[in-house]
Chains A and B, each alone.
Chain A
Amino acid sequence: GAGVSQSPRYKVAKRGQDVALRCDPISGHVSLFWYQQALGQGPEFLTYFQNEAQLDKSGLPSDRFFAERPEGSVSTLKIQRTQQEDSAVYLCASSSWGVSTDTQYFGPGTRLTVL
């Protein structure tokens, strides 16, 4: 079946602009994660949804970052008043929810460049 998809794949923003990044998880997956991957680094956790509930947002770096998943499927990560340090690849991952920790399947990411 179809994997996790993300759009846009590339986004260039001027400093101070707002951006919205979209994630389409694997159909039926309950869990959805957002990660930020800086150049040459491992992904770092941003936030987690179980269906439409945002259960963990401890990784969001500032109140400029906001995520939602209103119907428990598609999710949007919004960054307000972008700064140069926001430049990174934003990865979305989804997993099913079973009796133990489930495999996370990643999307291709959105590469955000803030000028």
Chain B
Amino acid sequence: GENVEQHPSTLSVQEGDSAVIKCTYSDSASNYFPWYKQELGKRPQLIIDIRSNVGEKKDQRIAVTLNKTAKHFSLHITETQPEDSAVYFCAASLRKSSGDKLTFGTGTRLAVRP
């Protein structure tokens, strides 16, 4: 089955700097890659996603890049703000007749220092 690895596990940046989180996946057939933000005690919330027919997607300060050949994808947050502090999870999925379950990475705890 699919295996997703995520790095780093913790990341501390100064407010205004950029943050980059990287993930690799094992199943070359995976074709959907969402990123979720989870604040302490809250539900995971989708912040951006990318499909395998696209190499890059941007939404304001957040961007995601996908390299299908290398089987890795990355989250980029620019001009970080204290409210960006949270745990971020990458995930990978493949549509099957039995459903399209998400396989998650282990998470990155981002701390933005004011």
Contacts and interface: CB of A to CB of B under 8 A. Distances in A.
Interface of A: 4, 31, 33, 35, 40-45, 48, 50, 55-56, 59, 91, 93, 100-109
B103 A45 contact: yes
A56 B99 contact: yes
B8 interface: no
Nearest to B46: A103
Given A48-B98, A48-B99, A100-B32, A43 B89 contact: yes
Contact of B43 (A44, A45, A48, A91): A91
Contacts of B46: 103-105
B100 interface: yes
Contacts of A103: 34, 46, 49
Given A100-B95, A103-B49, A43 B42 contact: no
A42 B104 contact: yes
B89 A56 contact: no
B78 interface: no
In the A-B complex, list the 8 residue pairs whose CB atoms are closest, starting with the nearest: A42-B104, A101-B32, A48-B99, A45-B101, A56-B98, A106-B43, A101-B100, A55-B98
Contacts, number: 66
A7 B98 CA distance: 26
A55 B101 CA distance: 11
A106 B39 CA distance: 13
B42 to A, nearest CB: 7
A42 B89 contact: yes
Given A100-B32, A100-B51, A106-B45, A42 B101 contact: no
Nearest to B94: A101
A33 B94 CA distance: 14
A50 to B, nearest CB: 6
B100 to A, nearest CB: 5
